[in-house]
Amino acid sequence: MAEEKKMPFIHRDISWLSFNHRVLQEAEDPSVPLFERIKFLAIYSSNLDEFFRVRVAHHRNLMRVGKKTQKKLEFSPKQIIKGILRIVNRQQKKFSDIFENQIIPDLRKNGIRILRRLDLNEEQKHFVEEYFNDNLLPFVQPVLLVNGMVNPFLNNAELYLTLHMKVKDKPKSDPVYAIVKVPSDYCPRFVEIPSNDDNTRDIMMLDDIVRHNVSIFFPGYDIQDTYSIKLTRDAELYIDDEFQGDLISKIKKSLNKRNVGPPSRFVYDREMPNYLLDYLMGTFALNNADLIKEGRYHNNFDFFKFPSFEKDHLKNKPLPPLPYPELEQAEDIFQAISEKEHLIQVPYQSYNSVVRFFEQAASDPLVTHIKIVQYRVARRSKIMNALMNAVNAGKQVMVFVEVKARFDEEANLKWGEKLEKAGVQVFYSFPGLKVHSKLALIRREKGQKSELFTYLGTGNFHEGTARVYSDLGLFTSDIRLTSEVARVFNFLETVKLPQTEFKHLLVGQFNLRSALVQKIDREIKIAKAGKPAAMILKMNSLEDPEIITKLYEASNAGVQIDLIIRGICCLVPQIKGFSENIHAISIVDRFLEHARVFWFSNNDNEELYLSSADFMRRNLSYRIETAFPIYDENIREEIKAFLQMQLKDNVKARILNKERTNIYNATKDDMPIRSQIDTYYKILRKNDMKVKG
List the one residue out of 584, 586, 580 whose CA is nearest residue 553.
580
* Whole-angstrom distance, CA of residue 562 vs CA of residue 517: 17
Residue 231: C-alpha distances to residues 222, 265, 555 (Å): 26, 6, 45
Q: Residue 41 is which amino acid?
A: L
- CB-CB contact of 234 with 217 (8 Å): no
Q: Quick one: pLDDT at residue 253?
A: 57
* DSSP bridge pairs for 427: 400
Return the pLDDT at 670: 76
Q: Where are the strands (E) in 332-415, listed by range?
A: 342-346, 367-374, 396-401
Q: Is the pLDDT of residue 98 over 70?
A: yes
What is the arithmetic mean of pLDDT over 243-247? Answer: 47
Express each pLDDT in 589-606 by its tens digit.
Answer: 999 999 999 999 999 999
Find the mean pLDDT for residues 439-447.
Answer: 94
Q: How many Cα atoms sit within 13 Å of 545 on the Cβ side? A: 7
| Confidence class for position 77, pLDDT limits 50, 70, 90 | confident
Residues 648-667, mean pLDDT to the nearest whole number: 94
Q: Which residue has the higher pLDDT, 688 or 565?
A: 565
Mean pLDDT across the chain: 91
Active site residues: 436
- The percentage of the chain sitting over the pLDDT mark of 70, rounded to a whole number, equals 93
CB contact at 8 A, 542 and 662: no
Nearest Cα residue to 579 out of 595, 559, 565: 559
Instruction: Say how far residue 79 (Cα) sits from the centre of its chain.
Output: 26
pLDDT value of position 150: 65
pLDDT average, residue stretch 424-450 = 90
What are 346-376's pLDDT values in tens digits?
999 999 999 999 999 999 999 999 999 998 8
Q: Is 147 helix (H, G, I), strand (E, B) or coil?
A: coil
Which pLDDT score, from 0 to 100, does residue 483 have? 97
Strand partners, 253: none
Band (256; pLDDT cuts 50, 70, 90)? low
- Calpha distance 635→625 (Å, rounded): 22
> Which tops the pLDDT comparison, 273 or 433?
273
User: In the predicted model, is pLDDT for residue 168 greater than 50?
Assistant: yes
The answer to whether the CB of 543 falls within 8 A of the CB of 572 is no
Higher pLDDT, 456 or 245: 456
Name the residue among 395, 472, 451, 392 with its Cα closest to residue 643. 472
**Residue 647: Cβ-neighbour burial (10 angstroms; 0-12, 13-18, 19+):** buried
Residue 398 phi, psi dihedral angles, 5° rounding = -120, 130
What integer pLDDT is reported at residue 154 of this predicted model?
Answer: 87
Residue range 269-286: mean pLDDT, rounded: 92
State the pLDDT at residue 67.
Answer: 65
Q: Which of 614, 517, 512 shows the shortest CA–CA distance to 567?
A: 614
Contact (CB, 8 A) for 251 and 413 = yes
Do residues 488 and 624 touch, judged by C-beta distance below 8 A?
Answer: yes
**Are the C-beta atoms of residues 395 and 368 closer than 8 Å to each other?**
yes
**Residue predicted with more confidence, 73 or 6:** 6
pTM over 0.85: yes
Could you tell me which residues come within 8 angstroms of residue 12 by beta carbon, excluding any fewer than 6 positions away? 541, 543, 568, 570
Bridge pairing between strands 201-205 and 190-193: antiparallel
φ/ψ of residue 289, rounded to 5: -70, -10
What's the pLDDT at 532? Answer: 96
Answer whether 405's CB lies under 8 Å from 489's CB. no
Which of 59-63, 240-244, 514-518, 560-564 is predicted with the least confidence, judged by mean pLDDT? Answer: 240-244
pLDDT score recorded for residue 600: 98
What is the reported pLDDT for 246?
A: 58
pLDDT of residue 1: 36
Q: What local confidence, expressed as pLDDT, does residue 68 receive? A: 62
Question: 384 with 377: CB under 8 angstroms?
Answer: yes
Cβ atoms within 10 A of the Cβ of 427, count?
19
Strands 176-182 and 159-167: antiparallel
Is pLDDT above 50 for 508? Answer: yes
Amino acid occupying residue 530? G
Provide the Cα torsion 493, 499, 501, 502; round to 10°.
Answer: -30
- Per-residue model confidence as pLDDT tens digits over 202-244: 999 999 999 999 999 999 899 999 999 999 887 665 444 443 4
**DSSP states of 132-170:** IIIIIGGG---EEEBTTTB-PPPPTT-EEEEEEEEETT-
Q: Is the pLDDT of residue 480 over 60?
A: yes
pLDDT at 249 over 80: no
d(CA 628, CA 35): 39
Is residue 467 within 8 Å of residue 351, measured between CB atoms?
yes
CA 367 to each of CA 353, 385, 391, 592: distance values in angstroms, whole numbers, following the listed order: 17, 17, 11, 35
* Complete domains list, the chain, with CATH: 12-314 (3.30.1840.10), 325-494 (3.30.870.10), 506-692 (3.30.870.10)
pLDDT band at 556 (very low <50, low <70, confident <90, very high): very high
- Taking residue 604's Cβ as centre, other Cβ atoms within 10 Å add up to 8
Average pLDDT over residues 628-644: 98
